A and B are shown apart, each in its own frame.
Chain A
Amino acid sequence: MVTDKISTRGLVYAALFGALTAAGAFIVIPLPPVPMTAQTFFMNVAALLLGGPLGAASQLIYVMLGVVGMPVFAGGKAGLGVLFGPTGGYLLGFIIAAFVVGTVNKIKKNAGTLWNIFSMTIGMLIIYTLGSLQLALVAKMSFTKALTVGVLPFLPGDVIKILLAAAVCSRLKGRVKV
């Protein structure tokens, strides 16, 4: 996050991906049996295309859009309360995961699709861990229970979203220079 000089382009792109992640709340990925929103998808694309610091900035923007009152959190929620509510950990996870995914991805020059998928998987694990921790804490359940409620139902969808993000990123590779 601590960057001395962000280029204007980087600034605009981070804002753009924040808005995209937010708009992702209204973009439904057609998946059986439950269609799901495109948010983690855009988070991953942001991290891969923008890199760690700007990716994290974009997710911070997304969370702040929600705090400021846009109904962009899962289920059309908004506001500060969500951050402290049962699902707030996932949102914090978005920011940290974006940073880690972007940074891990940059370790390897000319990262291929496999490396992309690997770094996104690490990000997913971070989101799950933080999300379940807060869910367990706020809803006063045990950690394993929180995992069953908060991770298991979303696992298949998230795997597919990672694959989609990898596909889209390989198509857009080299398009974004920040």
Chain B
Amino acid sequence: MYHTGSFIRGRSLVHRLDPRVKLSAALVFSIFILWVKPSLALASGVILLFPALISGIRPRTLVQAIKPLLFLIVLIFMVHVFFSDGSGEAPGGQTFHGLSFSRTGFQEAFWVVWRFLCLMVAAILLTMTTAPSQMIAAVKYFLKPLKKVRVPVDELAVMLLLALKLMPILLTEKERIETAQKARGYDASRSGWVTRLKSFSHLTSKILTGVFRRADELALAMDARNFRRGERSSLVELKLTSSDYIVMGLLIFFFIIFVALNSHFG
């Protein structure tokens, strides 16, 4: 349950690429796909299939990762079909109960959903092929310039690592307390919702007091080991290899062609 859309170990070319290349590619792609004309959005989506294929991630896994979004996708589609602003309304457009159907509405809805899907697939591919520690190293690299304006980038990276380790601990803690409550005869489904809310607030207060104690201990332990601020070394050393340069070159090539095509069609 906690693993949809998270990292899957692998040795494909996409896995071995430098996280900085992947992150910036995904970033550029996500801005790009929202900005280009429909026909090029279609083409970009098709190009996205290449990394998807060579990443060695099964299509079924991808579909499963998108599944939780299905509701939102349907919602967006509906909004566009039913509430199309009707600018340039075709004569064939029909209305009933104040709702308007139109071909433009359908088209618009299709393209919005298509772009949205492309965004999601790109993001999922990125996170499925990049280990969190690699990703943190990449994020830290890109945030480095912010040090000039005194944003504590190194501290943020440490916090991010801490949070990454804390999350599963918190979830087990929650499950532990819930089991304890059940063992003492608490049955959520049999009580009214005011009682349920009350017990929720009790539960969270308990979890929080517990984890606050842990946090105090952790801070003390860090201070005791002379934790200091600023630049720190990392297990993950980022280094661009020849395949990184080739991929970067390809991406820039496609990018320029698409930008040119986009302005040409306009």
Q: Is the interface of B mostly helix, strand, loop or mixed?
A: helix
**A106 on the interface (CB 8 Å rule)?**
no
Measured between beta carbons, the chain B residues less than 8 angstroms from A77 are 5, 68-69, 120
Measured between beta carbons, the chain A residues less than 8 angstroms from B227 are 8
A16 touches B215 (CB 8 A): yes
**A15 on the interface (CB 8 Å rule)?**
yes
Question: Of A61-69, A93-101, A115-123, A124-132, which binds chain B?
Answer: A61-69
**B162 on the interface (CB 8 Å rule)?**
yes
Specify the chain A residue showing the minimal Cβ separation from B157.
A64
Question: Of B54-62, B91-99, B195-203, B232-240, which binds chain A?
Answer: B195-203
Q: Once the chains are docked, how many angstroms separate the CA of A114 from the CA of B26?
A: 44
Q: How far is the CB of A103 from chain B (nearest CB, A)?
A: 18
Interface residues of B in 207-251 (CB under 8 A from A): 208-209, 211-212, 215-216, 218-219, 222-223, 227, 229
**B53 on the interface (CB 8 Å rule)?**
no
Interface residues of A (CB under 8 A from B): 1-9, 11-16, 18-20, 22-23, 26-27, 29-32, 38, 41, 45, 57, 60-62, 64-65, 67-72, 75-82, 84-87, 138-142, 145, 149, 160, 164, 167-168, 171-172, 175-176
Q: State the 8 A-B residue pairs at the shortest beta-carbon distance, nearest first.
A: A79-B123, A81-B123, A69-B127, A15-B162, A19-B166, A15-B159, A9-B219, A19-B163
Could you list 25 A-B pairs, sorted by A, with CB under 8 Å? A2-B150, A2-B151, A8-B219, A11-B162, A15-B158, A15-B159, A19-B166, A19-B170, A22-B167, A31-B197, A64-B156, A68-B132, A69-B6, A69-B127, A69-B128, A77-B68, A77-B69, A79-B122, A84-B34, A86-B116, A141-B80, A167-B201, A168-B208, A171-B205, A175-B212
